[in-house]
Structure 1
Amino acid sequence: MSAYRICFVCTGNICRSPSAEVILRARAHDAGLDVVVDSAGTDGYHVGDGADYRALRAMKAAGYDGTAHVARQFDEGWFAERDLVVALDRGHFRLLHAMAPDEEAAAKIRLMRSFDIDAEDLDENDPHIDVADPYYGPDSAFTEMVEQLEAASDGLVEFLAERTEHPA
């Protein structure tokens, strides 16, 4: 069986999605799961940039290294190459659904916090289901982002561990 393939998607691919990528990769590795994790943005204005220094600092404080990240833009052709496409907020969720070429692709899209045990009962229209964008906020917003991503990653690891088979 090949590795389960996951792509995290936010706006510019410099804060939330690269942080989610790094955190899930580490958590999945610790759980012994065979996954391939990457990330991208819905917009291309940061393509080629590294992760935001504040995201790097918050990740480092939590024990993760995001320094190898290079931002990219999501391509609709990637739906066929991924088993799961994880949106970091409802706006990305809607944009990804609009990009999905068919129902099979659309079925692969999930909201990140839907995996968080403390947020799983939230409706997809509830703003608390979003991983809030820390970009224009204080440094503490980046710490909160990492905490939200860790909680959701724990649930995502459980989700992945329960899957003995996945789409080829």
Structure 2
Amino acid sequence: MTSLPAPHRPGHYRVAFICSGNICRSPSADVVLESMLAEAGLSDRVEVVSGGIGDWHVGDAMDPRSAAALHGRGYDPTRHAAQQVQAGWFGRDDVLLAMDESHRSDLSRLGDPERVRLFGEFDPDDPGVEVPDPYYGGRDGFEEVLDMIERTCRALVPHIERALSPS
């Protein structure tokens, strides 16, 4: 069973989602998990951020197709500004969740591999699946990615609750 690393600070957890440019997959996961954590009453104990491996979109808003998919399901995607992951995140974030294997590999070279997990490891329907990049496709790809993100974030919340509980 996949588990999350222990928190840097007991009683508090910080999750970082990582994809290529931080405009599609990782910010969508950020928005969805924050919403689910609020529903679970954990917003005051869990912080969520997202970043990209590359710097191509730093400062940009979320891809409009990702934003539209989120908005269509009642989420608010408006506050996002893309940023690039930095080595310092490993001392700040408790877990860095990579959207695909290339991101996991890049993150493991950048910092502590014990803090890195593949987001899809928590997917209840297809454990270990990579979240495909919808950037070069049409609207359906963004909807399918959001389906994966929602079910995986839903499954991730109990893991976060366990990580917050003292052993």
> Tell me, what secondary structure is at the counterpart of 1:153?
helix
Q: TM-score, normalised by structure 2?
A: 0.89
Q: Deviations over 1:62-116 (max 9, x none)?
A: 111111100000001110001110001111011001111xxxx211111111111
How far apart in 1 are the matches of 2:75 and 2:118?
Answer: 22
Instruction: Give ranges in structure 1 of 5+ residues lacking alignment.
Output: 123-128
Task: State, as a whole percentage, how many aligned pairs show the same letter.
Answer: 39
* Residue number in structure 1 paired with 2:141: 141
1:76 matched to 2:76? The reply is no
1:88 matched to 2:95? The reply is no
How far apart in 1 are the matches of 2:85 and 2:19?
Answer: 9
* Regions of 4+ moved over 3 Å: none
Displacement of 1:2 in angstroms is 4.6
The match for 2:24 among 15, 18, 26 is 15
How far apart in 2 are the matches of 1:162 and 1:77?
Answer: 25
* Residue number in structure 2 paired with 1:25: 34
How far apart in 1 are the matches of 2:135 and 2:123?
Answer: 22
User: Partner letter of residue 16 of structure 2?
Assistant: C
* Residue number in structure 2 paired with 1:43: 54
Displacement of 1:3 in angstroms is 2.3
> Tell me, what secondary structure is at the counterpart of 1:67?
coil
User: Partner letter of residue 71 of structure 2?
Assistant: K
How far apart in 1 are the matches of 2:76 and 2:58?
Answer: 20
1:118 matched to 2:157? The reply is no
Q: TM-score, normalised by structure 1?
A: 0.89
Instruction: Give ranges in structure 2 of 5+ residues lacking alignment.
Output: 1-9
Of structures 1 and 2, the one scoring higher in RCO (CA 8 A, sep 6+) is 2
> Tell me, what secondary structure is at the counterpart of 2:88?
helix
The match for 2:70 among 45, 49, 59 is 59
Aligned length: 155
User: Partner letter of residue 56 of structure 1?
Assistant: A
How far apart in 2 are the matches of 1:108 and 1:165?
Answer: 18
Displacement of 1:32 in angstroms is 1.3
* Residue number in structure 2 paired with 1:108: 115
* Residue number in structure 1 paired with 2:5: none
How far apart in 2 are the matches of 1:87 and 1:130?
Answer: 9
> Tell me, what secondary structure is at the counterpart of 1:9?
strand
- Name the Cα RMSD after superposition: 1.2
How far apart in 2 are the matches of 1:118 and 1:36?
Answer: 26
